[in-house]
Amino acid sequence: MHRRDFLRAASLPAALAAVPGTPAPAGPPNVIWFFGDQHRAQALGIDGDANARTPNIDNLASMGVQFTGAVSGFPLCCPFRGSLLTGRYPHHCVPGHEYPLPDNQPTIAQPLKAAGYHTAYFGKWHLGGFHESQGRAAMFITDPRKRGGFDVWTGYENNNSQYDCWVHGGAGKDAFHYRLPGYETDALTDLLLQYVKEQAAAQRSGKGQPFFAACSVQPPHDPYVAPPEYRQRWSAGNIRFRPNVPEVPSIRAQAAREMAGYYPMVENLDFNLGRVLKTLHDEGLFFNTHLLFFSDHGDMLGSQGQFRKMTPYEESIRIPFFIAGGQPSYDGHLTGRTPAFLNAADIAPTTLGLCGVAKPEWMEGRDLSHLRLRRRGEAALPDSAYLQAVVPTGHGNSTNKAYRGIVTRDGWKYACFDGVSWLMFNLNEDPYEQVNVAHNNLYREERKKLIGRLRQWVADTGDQFQIPDD
């Protein structure tokens, strides 16, 4: 067992507690979501990835809680974001690529605004329903009525050009649309930090509100282009592969080339997370701000001979997820690692729980804030996480059939196509998923249990899918 697998009560490091001029927290806590796109959970230095240089992310594990069981239940941008913002499962919200948020669907912004919060969103949105077959999404202007109800919204629909990122916002005579200066992650972080400083000044004046701010950046999503000062330290020749990247020359060549761009992008993301942490410290907000760092899904990067996302393999579904910041209470906030499952639909309810705001009835996910806040009498942790591909994209490097699956607390994973078993792994002894036992009758009894639990997930969430009988 990892020495930090037990949650423990602890204060923040003394060096952070000694920030000059840090006021005692007063009033409701602020919250920041800071998240990348296609950043897999395995790409963290703290968890042993020799390619990853992530000192700021790694430090979050000392300052907060790392959810090692966090998953992207539908590892695709639009469905994840729909679930993230609404706390609803994809089949009830955003079921596929380039689907919009349903009309009149509230997001996390509404209950927070009702509780007195100022809300802001910066960066990638991808919920306006634009189809890139009609042109470049960076030039698309999201209908103000489809921006989630945030007080401040500066974003873009989609963008795959890190040095040519256009953002828009406002409406009518106050509308704007402009190209960000420099590299996307740096420039979007600049917008977030400007907002944080403005909110800090308002709070110091006694006229401010608690705030909720989300900053969504596309890197390390492909194309794998990093700032030159990061990229120059990498070459395809110094990449270390995971054991499940097959020794097929074409696969390894592509994986090495792409990872030599991917990991510098992760390092730049980590650098900008450090900027966020420093600003919170400098503005005296760290001790009254919950910082959630995560990603929308992972990236196969050659594992299993595959690339990108949309599969139920570990490199696609597992995401980094940390909750840090906030003033330790008299009982102490919890720090360390928890294996508890956390899915996309759980993030909004958990955020509301951190703020002491009740989860609205239309949210389906669980509030797991008690794993950061020391509270008693919370519900039992989930025994499994639900995996879905509701509407396949049909893209290359993507599973082209709908599937459902689960990963369980006792270390099993099962996935099926419509009426047919597909994958089954014992992650305890096969963490790299190299032995598929879905059609091995030595495991028939275990398979039947997994099928039964998956069928229950389908029923409990009001989903529609034909699960195999055996």
The contacts of residue 182 (CB under 8 Å, 6+ apart) are 163
Residue 6 covered by a domain? no
Instruction: Classify residue 466: in a domain, yes or no.
Output: no
454 and 362 part of one domain: no
Shared domain for 427 and 295, answered yes or no, is no
Tens of pLDDT along the chain (470 residues) come to 332 332 333 333 433 433 434 444 567 999 999 999 999 999 999 999 999 999 999 999 888 999 999 999 999 999 999 999 999 999 999 999 999 999 999 999 999 999 999 999 999 999 999 999 999 999 999 999 999 999 999 999 999 999 999 999 999 999 999 999 999 999 999 999 999 999 999 999 999 999 999 999 999 999 999 999 999 989 999 999 999 999 999 999 999 999 999 999 999 999 999 999 999 999 999 999 999 999 999 999 999 999 999 999 999 999 999 999 976 543 457 788 999 999 999 999 999 999 999 999 999 999 999 999 876 556 678 999 999 999 999 888 889 999 999 999 999 999 999 999 999 999 999 999 999 999 999 999 999 999 999 999 999 999 999 999 98
Do 356 and 435 reside in the same domain of the chain? no
State whether 352 and 408 are in the same domain. Answer: no
CATH number for the domain spanning 198: value is: 3.40.720.10
Residue 190 lies in a domain: yes
The C-alpha atoms of residue 295 and residue 227 are separated, in whole angstroms, by: 20
User: Do 242 and 140 belong together in one domain?
Assistant: yes
3-state secondary structure of 63: helix
In a domain, 116, yes or no: yes
Q: Same structural domain for residues 129 and 67?
A: yes
The answer to whether residues 137 and 280 belong to one domain is: yes
Specify whether 312 is located in the same domain as 166. yes
Q: Which pLDDT tens digit goes with each residue over 249-290?
A: 999 999 999 999 999 999 999 999 999 999 999 999 999 999
What does residue 348 show for φ and ψ, rounded to 5 degrees? -65, -50
Cβ partners under 8 Å of residue 377, min gap 6? none
**448 in the same domain as 357:** no
Whether the bond into 312 is cis, omega within 30 of 0: no
**Is 2 part of any domain?**
no
Residue 442 lies in a domain: yes
The answer to the question of residue 396 being in a domain is no
User: Between the CA atoms of 374, 376, 378 and 383, what dihedral angle is there, to the nearest 10 degrees?
Assistant: 70
**CB 461 within 8 Å of CB 364:** yes
Domain that holds residue 406: 401-460
Q: What is the DSSP string of 154-173?
A: EEES----TTS-EEEE--GG
Indicate whether 441 and 327 sit together in one domain.
Answer: no
Q: Is 409 part of a structural domain of the chain?
A: yes
Domain count, the chain: 2
Answer yes or no: are the C-beta atoms of 286 and 18 closer than 8 Å: no
At residue 315, the pLDDT reads 98
Tokens of 271: 């650098």
Residues 239, 344 within the same domain: yes
Assess whether 221 and 309 both reside in one domain. Answer: yes
Burial 170-186 (b: 16+ CB within 10 A, else e): eeeeeeeeeebeebbbb
pLDDT digits (tens, 9 = 90+) for 325-358: 976 543 457 788 999 999 999 999 999 999 999 9
Query: Burial code of 32-62, b = ≥16 C-beta within 10 A, e = fewer?
Result: bbbbbbbbbbbbbbbbebebbbbebbbbbbb
